[in-house]
């Protein structure tokens, strides 16, 4: 496996790239990149890209085309080869999609994105963090900027797990032309109970709207909770509660261990990988902001209904585990 690093400019982003090129024939080419969020100084966004060794030419869509009216790019086997973007749940990162990217990248461009304040996406320093509010609206804006710049506005299939599914629906409602389709895997139907940010007269805990820096008392509450949750033993317990197949945790851990051995990142276990993602400078502040963040203007169910009412709605696959306590009502099954 060969590695190459470079620094270049790509569609307005300053790009710091580490390329990992598999030598096996027919395998996907995996690239890890960290980019500056354009227009948001000091915010670094990390993503992983998998693609065929001989990538198909990009399919560009004119501004007059809608996601459903434009012809989707085709793969070598004749299937839809639209770029696919994997969006992780809360507290994890691109490493959660390692196995999927290896397979999806054989015939199409496939990406995974770290949300700001999670994984490897973080402000560069305290000054860049000042004024940030880690909420669903921020992550929707991050996804929008990513699709506009890295994918050059090409419609993509968004695959969102938990929080990722919630954000994908919010983005699709605001920018439907960027979305070829939605695959929602156990999407969380609720994100925050605090009043929306635009509700300026609403009562908020400690009179704080979750914009950093945090006041002392909320920070103490958030830091204490965060310190407990990021313990690998706590994470292992939570993973055991949400994985129907407990062997899947071990399989993911083995893949991360292989990556660590090859010198390309990874940890000894999935719980440790998640704990590492939570150990970044600013993690306590980010979690505190998330804990007190306002909810979105449009709820998850309302956004799904609004998408269904569009003239050309994107196809939506909504999947929940049989025992998932957050399952949507049967009207959306």
- What lies within 8 Å, CB to CB, of 36 at 6+ separation is 13, 14, 43, 44, 45
Q: Yes or no: say if 136 and 167 are a contact pair by the CB < 8 Å rule.
A: yes
1-55+76-191+298-333: CATH number: 3.40.50.1820
As a whole number, the mean pLDDT across the chain is: 80
| Percent of the chain that is helix, strand, coil (3-state, to 5) | 35, 20, 45
Confidence of residue 135 (pLDDT cuts 50, 70, 90): very high
pLDDT of residue 268: 52
pLDDT of residue 89: 93
Q: Yes or no: say if 298 and 170 are a contact pair by the CB < 8 Å rule.
A: yes
Distance CA 116, CA 126 (A): 14
Mean pLDDT for the stretch of residues 323-332:
58
Confidence of residue 126 (pLDDT cuts 50, 70, 90): very high
3-state secondary structure of 223: helix
More confident call, 140 vs 27 = 140
Please determine, for residue 87, whether its predicted confidence score (pLDDT) is greater than 60: yes
Phi and psi at 128, nearest 5°, equal -65, -30
pLDDT of residue 203: 66
Confidence of residue 71 (pLDDT cuts 50, 70, 90): low
Least confident of 163-172, 245-254, 273-282: 245-254
Mean pLDDT for the stretch of residues 228-250:
77
3-state secondary structure of 4: strand
Q: Yes or no: say if 133 and 285 are a contact pair by the CB < 8 Å rule.
A: no
């Amino acid at each position: 496996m060969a590695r190459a690093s470079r620094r270049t400019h790509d569609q307005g982003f300053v790009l710091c790239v580490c390329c990992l090129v598999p030598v096996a024939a027919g395998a996907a080419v995996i690239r890890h990149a960290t980019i500056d969020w354009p227009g948001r100084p000091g915010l670094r966004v990390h993503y992983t890209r998998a693609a065929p060794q001989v990538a198909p030419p990009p399919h560009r869509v004119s501004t007059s085309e809608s996601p459903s009216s434009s012809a989707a790019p085709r793969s070598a086997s004749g299937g839809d080869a639209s770029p696919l973007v994997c969006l992780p749940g809360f507290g994890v990162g691109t490493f959660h999609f390692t196995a999927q990217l290896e397979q999806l990248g054989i015939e199409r461009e496939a990406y995974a994105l770290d949300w700001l304040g999670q994984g490897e996406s973080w402000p560069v320093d305290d000054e860049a963090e000042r004024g940030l509010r880690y909420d669903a609206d921020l992550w929707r804006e991050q996804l929008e900027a990513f699709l506009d710049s890295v994918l050059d506005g090409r419609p993509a299939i968004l695959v969102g797990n938990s929080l990722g599914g919630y954000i994908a629906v919010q983005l699709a409602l605001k920018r439907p032309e960027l979305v070829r389709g939605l695959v929602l895997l156990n999407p969380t139907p609720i994100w925050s109970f605090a009043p929306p940010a635009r509700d300026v007269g609403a009562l908020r805990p400690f009179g704080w709207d979750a914009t950093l820096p945090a006041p002392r008392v909320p920070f103490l509450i958030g830091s204490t909770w965060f310190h407990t949750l990021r313990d690998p033993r706590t994470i292992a317990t939570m993973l055991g509660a949400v994985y129907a197949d407990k062997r899947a945790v071990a399989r993911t851990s083995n893949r991360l261990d292989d990556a660590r051995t090859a010198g390309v990142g990874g940890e000894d276990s999935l719980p440790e990988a998640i704990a590492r993602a939570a150990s970044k400078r600013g993690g306590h502040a980010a979690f505190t902001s998330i804990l007190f963040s306002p909810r979105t203007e449009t709820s998850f169910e309302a956004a799904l209904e609004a998408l269904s009412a569009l003239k050309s709605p994107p196809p939506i696959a909504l999947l929940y585990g049989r025992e998932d306590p957050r399952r949507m009502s049967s009207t959306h099954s």
